[in-house]
C-alpha cells in the first residue's frame, strides 16, 4: 500500500509534473514517435518524490545516497537486472540500495500496480520521455526525462530543494532572443528535440560544470576575427590550426550519430574541450565548434564603453527579469563575459562557477542590452 507522503513539496508539485508528462507524451504520440514511456499518475509521482527526499537525508556507512530512479516496468526495459523479489519503495530500502547504483547511467527500476509501488531491479536503458528522479545531494531532487534518441543531456522538469520548488518554464524561450543552447536544454519546442538532441554547447556546459573548477567559454562567428579586439595580446594559448575534431564529427549523418562508437568519440572530444575550460582565462570556440584558443584574457574593446547594466533571468515558472549592474551577478568571470558580449554582440559566453552556477550571456537586440540567462537548474 502507498503510504501518505509527509514531504509537503511532493504533494504540491505532483500534479504539475503529471501534466507535463501527459502533454509531452501526447505531443510525441501525435507526431508518430514510437517506443516512448507512459505518463506517470500524480499519486505515484508524489510517492517517489516523498521516499526519495527522506532517503536523501539518511546515511549509509557515512555516505549520503545518490540515486537515479526510472519509472518503467521490467518487461519493457532492455536487458534489465531483475531482483527475484520486488522491494517496497521506502526511504530505508532506497538508502540500502543506493551504493549499488550511484554511478552515472544506472537507474533503479520502479513500477506500480494495485496501489503498490516497488523497486524491481536496475537498468541502464530506458524509454524516451521516461520519468526519472535523481537524488543529487541531501534534500536536492531533480525530476527529468530522457530524450527520444537516448543521447545527450536529459531534459529537466522540476527541481526540489528542501521547501523550494522550481518548475522549469518550457515557454521561457518566448521571453526574448533566446539562445539555441537554452532552447535545447529546455527540450522545447518538442519537434526540435525529437529531430536532433545533440547540441555541442549543451554537452560542453555539462562538462564544464562537472569538473568543478569554474570556466568561461566564448563562442564567436566562424569567419570573423573581430573578437580578437576584446582579448589581451599575445593570447596565452592560441590553437593553430584550430582544433576541428568536434566539427568533423558533427558533419556525420544522423544514422552514424546513432552508433555507440560515434557517441563515445563525441564524449571524449567534449571532455577534451571541457578540460581546457578549467584553465584560467577564456576558452574560445567558433560557431563551427572549432577550438581557437584557451587561457585567453578578456579586455574591454577600445571602441566601446564599460557595460553598466544587464538583465538576468532564470527559466522557472514565476521567475521575473531583473536589471542589475554586472558586478551584482557574480565574480570576475561573469563581469568578463558580460563585457565581451557587450563588445562582441554576435557572440555568446558561457560561465560556470565553482559553486555550480551556470550562466549564458547573449546580446538582446530587442532590449539592447546583455541578457544573462541563469541555467544551472537545467544542468543538474
Q: Is the pLDDT of residue 110 over 60?
A: yes
- pLDDT per residue over 124-174, tens digit each? 988 888 999 999 999 999 999 887 765 567 888 999 999 999 998 866 544
**186 — pLDDT class (breaks 50, 70, 90):** low
User: Which pLDDT score is estimated for 320?
Assistant: 82
When the pLDDT of each residue in the chain is averaged and rounded to a whole number, the result is 86
Mean pLDDT over residues 236-258, rounded?
Answer: 89
Higher-confidence residue of 123 and 62: namely: 123
What are the chain's domains?
8-167 (no CATH), 180-378 (3.40.1700.10)
Higher-confidence residue of 211 and 239: namely: 239
Ranked by mean pLDDT, which of 59-63, 98-102, 199-203 comes out on top? Answer: 98-102
User: Which pLDDT score is estimated for 188?
Assistant: 38
User: Which pLDDT score is estimated for 58?
Assistant: 93
Higher-confidence residue of 59 and 294: namely: 294
Query: What secondary structure does DSSP assign to 68-101, as a single string?
Result: EEEE--GGGSSS-EEEEEEEE--HHHHHHHGGGS
Q: Is the pLDDT of residue 187 over 70?
A: no
Long-range pairs, 1-6, Cβ under 8 A, ≥24: 1/115, 1/116, 2/43, 2/47, 2/115, 2/116, 2/117, 3/47, 3/50, 3/90, 5/46, 5/47, 5/49, 5/50, 6/50, 6/54
Mean pLDDT over residues 76-92, rounded?
Answer: 93
**342 — pLDDT class (breaks 50, 70, 90):** very high
User: Which pLDDT score is estimated for 285?
Assistant: 94
Q: Is the pLDDT of residue 62 over 50?
A: yes
Q: If DSSP states are collapsed to H, E and C, what string results for 204-228?
A: HHHHHHHHCCCEEEEEECCCCCHHH
User: Which pLDDT score is estimated for 109?
Assistant: 95
User: Which pLDDT score is estimated for 27?
Assistant: 86
Q: Is the pLDDT of residue 87 over 80?
A: yes
9-13, 143-147, 167-171, 234-238: least confident range: 167-171
Ranked by mean pLDDT, which of 16-20, 325-329, 365-369 comes out on top? Answer: 16-20
Amino acid at each position: 500500500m502507498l503510504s501518505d507522503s509527509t514531504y509537503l513539496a511532493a504533494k504540491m508539485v505532483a500534479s504539475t509534473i503529471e501534466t507535463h508528462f501527459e502533454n509531452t507524451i501526447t505531443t510525441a504520440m501525435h507526431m508518430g514517435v514510437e517506443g516512448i514511456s507512459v505518463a506517470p499518475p500524480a499519486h505515484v509521482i508524489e510517492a517517489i518524490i516523498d521516499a526519495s527526499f527522506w532517503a536523501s537525508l539518511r546515511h549509509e556507512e557515512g555516505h549520503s545516497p545518490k540515486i537515479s530512479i526510472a519509472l518503467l516496468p521490467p518487461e519493457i526495459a532492455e536487458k534489465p537486472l531483475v531482483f527475484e523479489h520486488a522491494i517496497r519503495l521506502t526511504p530505508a530500502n532506497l538508502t540500502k540500495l543506493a551504493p549499488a547504483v550511484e554511478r552515472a547511467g544506472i537507474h533503479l527500476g520502479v513500477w506500480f500496480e494495485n496501489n503498490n509501488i516497488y523497486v524491481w531491479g536496475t537498468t541502464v536503458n530506458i524509454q524516451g520521455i521516461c520519468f526519472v528522479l535523481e537524488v543529487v545531494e541531501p534534500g536536492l531532487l531533480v525530476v527529468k526525462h530522457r530524450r527520444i534518441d537516448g543521447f545527450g543531456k536529459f531534459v529537466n522538469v522540476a527541481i526540489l530543494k528542501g521547501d523550494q520548488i522550481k518548475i522549469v518554464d518550457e515557454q521561457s524561450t518566448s521571453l526574448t532572443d533566446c539562445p539555441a543552447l537554452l532552447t535545447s536544454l529546455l527540450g522545447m519546442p518538442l519537434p526540435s528535440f525529437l529531430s536532433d538532441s545533440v547540441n555541442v554547447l549543451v554537452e560542453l556546459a555539462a562538462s564544464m560544470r562537472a569538473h568543478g573548477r569554474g570556466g568561461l567559454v566564448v563562442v564567436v562567428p566562424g569567419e570573423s576575427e573581430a573578437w580578437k579586439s576584446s582579448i589581451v595580446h599575445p593570447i596565452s594559448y592560441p590553437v593553430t590550426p584550430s582544433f576541428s575534431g568536434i566539427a568533423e564529427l558533427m558533419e556525420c549523418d544522423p544514422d552514424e550519430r546513432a552508433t555507440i562508437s560515434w557517441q563515445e568519440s563525441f564524449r571524449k572530444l567534449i571532455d577534451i574541450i571541457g578540460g581546457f575550460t578549467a584553465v584560467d582565462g577564456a576558452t574560445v570556440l567558433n560557431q563551427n565548434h572549432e577550438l581557437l584558443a584557451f587561457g585567453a584574457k578578456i579586455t574591454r574593446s577600445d571602441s566601446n564603453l564599460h557595460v553598466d547594466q544587464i538583465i538576468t533571468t532564470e527559466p522557472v515558472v514565476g521567475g521575473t527579469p531583473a536589471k542589475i549592474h554586472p558586478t551584482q551577478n557574480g565574480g570576475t568571470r561573469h563581469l568578463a563575459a558580460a563585457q565581451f558580449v557587450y563588445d562582441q554582440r554576435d557572440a555568446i559566453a558561457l560561465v560556470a562557477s565553482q559553486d555550480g552556477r551556470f550562466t549564458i550571456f547573449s546580446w538582446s537586440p530587442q532590449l539592447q542590452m546583455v541578457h544573462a540567462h541563469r541555467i544551472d537548474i537545467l544542468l543538474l
